[in-house]
Amino acid sequence: MNNKIIIIGADHAGFELKETIKNYLISEGFEIHDIGVYSKDTADYPLIAKQASDIIAENKYRAILICGTGIGMSIAANKIKGIIHAKIIIKNMVFIRKNKALILNAFI
Domain ranges of the chain: 5-95
In the chain, what is the straight-line distance between the N-terminal and C-terminal CA atoms, in Å? 32
Beta strands in 1-108 (DSSP E): 5-10, 31-34, 62-67, 85-87, 101-105
Residues marked active site are found at 67
Superfamily for the 5-95 domain: Sugar-phosphate isomerase, RpiB/LacA/LacB (3.40.1400.10)
Q: Residue-wise pLDDT tens for the chain (108 aa)? A: 567 899 999 999 999 999 999 999 999 999 999 999 999 999 888 999 889 888 887 867 888 888 888 888 888 887 877 666 655 554 444 444 456 777 778 886
- Give, in order, the Cα–Cα distances in Å from 89 to each of 20, 30, 61, 67, 105: 19, 24, 22, 13, 9
